[in-house]
Structure 1
């Protein structure tokens, strides 16, 4: 029987070898990045009393190097996730969820695009990104015990650029096209206005003719056609990133008010709604170089510069917009799956096999996938056929340069000239400056689709027609913008750009081609902001604070639908607890202020109705089942159906646990939460970085205040800056922004010099 024993030993050895191989293969086969060009950098990191870093350097590149180190000191954990995404290796850290990003990385050719386009950027922009990469590499070398994935470093400027190329398209809905195509599901569509009544479960939501703002009505016949076409343009564009980013409710609020309406400064209020943690969570910082770069604001992990904020003369903020930026083409592919027909000839499909690392416990599995590409763009094969995707900003990395340039702009003309490049593929810009200018730019690199061809741009296009393959965006003059409206105010709350400045100044939808696919939607925040702004006589601090932190709802849209459905419920068919809950909700004051008995119930009810509308799901939740689930949750965890909402909704980080107000789609946004073991709802997405900027008209210094939900040291539990802004946040308070160097140093909690001298 010795042969059996020998066989068992051999089998055991083989199993061990396989396990060892699966545990160690990924770093060995991963493509190693060349380090950035060798150069000496030196920066000073000065932290405020709240730990917010201000980075000083002789050159812009020195500052970018310091930005990387400062951010790594506070959140190297997340920076590594972003670095792994930027190299197509996130699955080796985050398993199946990470592999979804890696598939998108390969499908979109993010690495190839960055490698091709990065060398074409101006030398100073390349230097900025290489310096940032050098800072990340230095922190990784000096802190090897924090590195999560072997071989992840060094990174270089091309790797950092690839992260931008990968993530930007998901802000305008690419994930909700890729996902259904990969799964062979129907793309989410919007439906016409011929569907009567409330959309019960299994029926469709009618979004085709949104209710206009008071005073914003336009010609009925022209508007109906435009509204239907443009609403359909937004049909498959809900804001969903690959699983794990919690981006289904990405939003934001923004306001700009001219000095004649404030009786003082030009005011800019930045109120972004992002996940509070992770790769698209805001990080606050300030920068100043000897080359004239002086800015304070916030960025996402993986960026060498702020994405929003202000310098001495001007500032801006962003809100997510939802234009039709994506077209899908059905290809005719030959039997061998090697070629596709375009007009009267057959073209070779580009074919590449990639290996996606998928971590499963201690092992990392190699999952093989085939990536296809046609002249249209990335190609996905499913049971229904072959589909190519083309999207705004595809194949470009110019946004890296555009963001850098607007950081250093000194006046509106210089700033707008960079926005006009449409290099930043999407997001609205709300602008204000020292000269009293305010502006709203519906920034979107909308495809320059030919209007003189027969095609349904909202449906699946004929992939055999080369005349449907557009090249580049429309001109800047074709997209909506408002500069210095007579009303003296501008706002956006992820609504259509046709309600922005009041009835006398708003743009007319009929002035813009339906082929542009500009969304025709309102959020409840938009209805509320429009009403409050239109009613205000003067925009002093108290008035603006009341608007920004408003917790009220308007009974319109999905909320009106929900209440109509509640009212239509037959009480004789309800249990006593549902009868009581229904009565509480029907008597609710539509204010999520922690005062009403129905606030907690309303909080649980509203979010999924909002999500159904915002994501174009086509159906609302079943009202009776949804009400029952809310009642069951409150009864189980609180022993009553009317607990104070602040007992239910919490801001939690470490050992700090605080009550919150606001709700999904209120101007005080507490949008998305996780359900904790104790039944409480811990906020994960909503009001995140808030910055309030005032540009005096007397030539004085720009003043600003800000807040973060937790603190500057976002993943460092041992730091005093892990939770030190939480109480200010829940109490609607802001902290001072230290912008000028004398103020920064006067309030410095720490100062350190960093260098990589060779």
Structure 2
């Protein structure tokens, strides 16, 4: 009897275990809020695919075109679009596991959904219609291709869902991750510090001495999930040249450096409607319009800038740990419990977490206390309308009117147009920090959270940020450098003319140093000279490069013969990553981490230790210290494997890579979408060329456009952009119509 009872008990446990497994494997799609479709609409778009598969999307209305943008992009990369939509709905952890759940936590922390719910209905009707039509296109593709879905009940979505994705991702382009990550980990912030407001002293290590945490509930002290990368180390080069300097056309060169795959990889398109929207450029997954490119009258490109856009406040908590003092009064922290889906193998675990908010903004607890963050563009999605209006601007005045709204939270703009105008705007929705007279406030430090006069509202005026229009030099550039080197010595702005409270960065990149030198030295910036500059692979021995080589000169290798040979090889390097020199491969490996440390305000690696690791890598995989760099650095996609040139911070940029099993470096981030635009001098139609590292269909191995641009990209060549309809039709390889159901 006991055995029968035991057997029945064991069977019962098995059943319970199976039921638990089934529950964990299936709860998430049903628990998640079921998406709502956008308002019904009749949309119709024509898609013309050229010989490289680039879509040219036509419609009677702008909304028609937006439907076509969604369908065309889904046809080429529905894989990535689903990830972006999952992020926009706080469900990415159900796809990407622990790292995805970290993104979902930030989604709730920043109140991306709440921002979209509050602000999307306030946008102009035409802008809302554009986003709803785009959502309709995504829904239609999902319904027609259920076999491609990663996650049940992810669709339908609406314009508000798409807007929530913007609210989540935009702050990471100006480095919000460099504040959130160390705060979650309880580490010092990665930026410059000076003396803070009295009352918040530091310990001998420079860390803020915070209040006692004895009364703070354990669940509130820190979020245990690893942060995970929301953004990427983004770079870019941008050039504009006036006719007098080019000897011919007004020229705009967009040379963005983004990850080659994923949620912030460029997707190329041409859009045209009967409502005046006609634009050639590229967007990121999840956007109904291009972020950069050109229309018939004007164009622009962007580079990442790094102003101080984030302020951190340490809250003074009461004994409960759930109230904070502000102007002498205790206030309750806003709190909201959320469920994070975390995929682990075949199951999805529901992890409950609480997010907090104060009057300042989102609140993060760590073992030093509670810290609130406030950042430029907080709780705003006005950029959705501004980008749309920029696409349709027909003159510099119209374009600048949209930029001056300060709606786009960050990124430099380099501009050019058919009239021969060129311009540079250090665009940033910099917080309008109060001037407090004799009280000295270090806005880059940790601010006391008990004073409401430090909680700024809105942004500075457009007139306060750096900008240059039509310099006498005839050229403008930016390569993620300070705005004070942009047009040559006769035209450059002075840092003395801008308030230090703006927090404008004062750093240079190697790309900036090279561009400034080469542009300044050129008598003529025609197509030949601009190509030479754009594909330059040299380093200046300045900044972190100088520091690294000074350290190599001072390095004593001792009895380590490999280290000594490597040091000698590097000291004889010609500082050019063109794959022609014997030290190029080793130099490539050495420089990247030093560049990254400088860019992200981290400590540089130990030179001897770093060099030993790179020597070991080359010896293991090549059996030598001096293999051709082209054998080390590769552009790989599917069965195509091609050699690359350029380094981590050269104008021809091969920024970061993954290390494959064979020891080769497969590029993951660097030169990505390149577009070269020319308006003929004296009038005439705009003409442009472009290139992508792989092809239009980056996640479709069966597509002929999976790898068809790779050889051109490696060879420094561009393909024509068929901006005008007759050109698109003359080069059409496929032509079809998509309509809403």
Smaller-chain TM-score bracket: over 0.9
* SS at structure 1 position matched to 2:700: coil
In 2 relative to 1, CA 254–146 (structure 1 residues): closer, same or farther, beyond 3 Å? Answer: same
1:519: which partner in 2?
505
What TM-score results when the alignment is normalised by the length of structure 1?
A: 0.92
- Indicate conservation of the 8 Å contact 2:236/2:479, yes or no: yes
Q: Alpha-carbon deviation of 1:242?
A: 5.7
Identify which of 703, 712, 719 aligns with 1:719.
703
Identify which of 176, 179, 182 aligns with 1:180.
182
1:419: which partner in 2?
403
Q: Alpha-carbon deviation of 1:574?
A: 4.1
Question: Where do residues 210-289 of structure 1 align in structure 2 (5 Å cutoff)?
Answer: 243-244=228-229, 247=232, 249-289=233-273
**Distance in 1 separating the partners of 2:721 and 2:636:** 24
- Indicate conservation of the 8 Å contact 1:578/1:631, yes or no: yes
2:537: which partner in 1?
551
Question: Where do residues 332-347 of structure 1 align in structure 2 (5 Å cutoff)?
Answer: 332-347=316-331
- Indicate conservation of the 8 Å contact 1:711/1:722, yes or no: yes
1:170: which partner in 2?
172
Q: Alpha-carbon deviation of 1:243?
A: 2.4
1:118: which partner in 2?
120
1:640: which partner in 2?
624
- Indicate conservation of the 8 Å contact 1:498/1:508, yes or no: yes
**Distance in 1 separating the partners of 2:282 and 2:323:** 46
- Indicate conservation of the 8 Å contact 1:320/1:426, yes or no: yes
Question: Where do residues 42-61 of structure 1 align in structure 2 (5 Å cutoff)?
Answer: 42-61=44-63
* SS at structure 2 position matched to 1:594: coil
Q: Alpha-carbon deviation of 1:358?
A: 0.5
- Indicate conservation of the 8 Å contact 2:570/2:586, yes or no: yes
Question: Where do residues 462-611 of structure 1 align in structure 2 (5 Å cutoff)?
Answer: 462-571=448-557, 573-611=558-596
2:132: which partner in 1?
130
1:736: which partner in 2?
720
Q: Alpha-carbon deviation of 1:628?
A: 1.0
1:77: which partner in 2?
79
In 2 relative to 1, CA 329–244 (structure 1 residues): closer, same or farther, beyond 3 Å? Answer: closer
Question: Where do residues 60-99 of structure 1 align in structure 2 (5 Å cutoff)?
Answer: 60-99=62-101
2:202: which partner in 1?
none
- Indicate conservation of the 8 Å contact 1:712/1:721, yes or no: yes
Q: Alpha-carbon deviation of 1:246?
A: 6.4
2:374: which partner in 1?
390
1:45-104 CA-partner distances (Å, limit 9, x unpaired): 101110000100000000000000000000000000000000000000000111111011
* SS at structure 2 position matched to 1:530: helix
1:323 aligns with 2:307: yes
* SS at structure 1 position matched to 2:257: strand
* SS at structure 2 position matched to 1:629: helix
* SS at structure 1 position matched to 2:626: coil
What is the CA RMSD across the aligned residues, in angstroms?
Answer: 1.4
**Distance in 2 separating the partners of 1:424 and 1:155:** 24
- Indicate conservation of the 8 Å contact 2:35/2:153, yes or no: no
**Distance in 2 separating the partners of 1:189 and 1:725:** 39
Aligned length: 709
1:705 aligns with 2:689: yes
Q: Alpha-carbon deviation of 1:698?
A: 2.6
Structure 2 unmatched runs, 5+: 195-204, 207-225
Q: Alpha-carbon deviation of 1:335?
A: 2.0
**Distance in 2 separating the partners of 1:348 and 1:605:** 50
Deviates more, 1:365-374 or 1:300-309: 365-374
In 2 relative to 1, CA 660–321 (structure 1 residues): closer, same or farther, beyond 3 Å? Answer: same
Question: Where do residues 133-152 of structure 1 align in structure 2 (5 Å cutoff)?
Answer: 133-152=135-154
- Indicate conservation of the 8 Å contact 2:142/2:155, yes or no: yes
In 2 relative to 1, CA 244–329 (structure 1 residues): closer, same or farther, beyond 3 Å? Answer: closer
**Distance in 2 separating the partners of 1:368 and 1:506:** 53
**Distance in 2 separating the partners of 1:154 and 1:18:** 28
- Indicate conservation of the 8 Å contact 1:245/1:279, yes or no: no
Q: Alpha-carbon deviation of 1:244?
A: 4.1
- Indicate conservation of the 8 Å contact 2:29/2:152, yes or no: yes
2:738: which partner in 1?
754
Q: Alpha-carbon deviation of 1:580?
A: 1.2
Q: Alpha-carbon deviation of 1:186?
A: 1.6
- Indicate conservation of the 8 Å contact 2:244/2:474, yes or no: yes
**Distance in 1 separating the partners of 2:227 and 2:634:** 26
* SS at structure 2 position matched to 1:253: strand
- Indicate conservation of the 8 Å contact 2:172/2:231, yes or no: no
* SS at structure 1 position matched to 2:118: helix
Q: Alpha-carbon deviation of 1:626?
A: 1.0
1:685: which partner in 2?
669
* SS at structure 2 position matched to 1:485: coil
Q: Alpha-carbon deviation of 1:349?
A: 1.2
* SS at structure 2 position matched to 1:578: helix
**Distance in 2 separating the partners of 1:189 and 1:101:** 23
**Distance in 1 separating the partners of 2:551 and 2:182:** 30
2:201: which partner in 1?
none
Identify which of 304, 307, 315 aligns with 2:288.
304
1:108-127 CA-partner distances (Å, limit 9, x unpaired): 00001001100000000000
**Distance in 2 separating the partners of 1:483 and 1:22:** 59
**Distance in 1 separating the partners of 2:740 and 2:266:** 27
Q: Alpha-carbon deviation of 1:334?
A: 2.0
Q: Alpha-carbon deviation of 1:756?
A: 1.6
- Indicate conservation of the 8 Å contact 1:328/1:387, yes or no: yes
- Indicate conservation of the 8 Å contact 2:178/2:600, yes or no: no
In 2 relative to 1, CA 589–727 (structure 1 residues): closer, same or farther, beyond 3 Å? Answer: same
* SS at structure 1 position matched to 2:468: strand
* SS at structure 1 position matched to 2:155: coil
* SS at structure 2 position matched to 1:667: coil
- Indicate conservation of the 8 Å contact 1:51/1:712, yes or no: yes
Q: Alpha-carbon deviation of 1:293?
A: 0.3
1:649: which partner in 2?
633
Identify which of 448, 454, 457 aligns with 2:443.
457
Identify which of 99, 106, 112 aligns with 2:108.
106
* SS at structure 1 position matched to 2:133: helix
1:19: which partner in 2?
21
- Indicate conservation of the 8 Å contact 1:246/1:275, yes or no: no
- Indicate conservation of the 8 Å contact 2:172/2:230, yes or no: no
1:433-458 CA-partner distances (Å, limit 9, x unpaired): 00000000000000000122532211
1:440: which partner in 2?
424
* SS at structure 1 position matched to 2:671: strand
**Distance in 2 separating the partners of 1:243 and 1:89:** 15
**Distance in 2 separating the partners of 1:585 and 1:346:** 61
- Indicate conservation of the 8 Å contact 2:481/2:508, yes or no: yes
- Indicate conservation of the 8 Å contact 1:245/1:278, yes or no: no
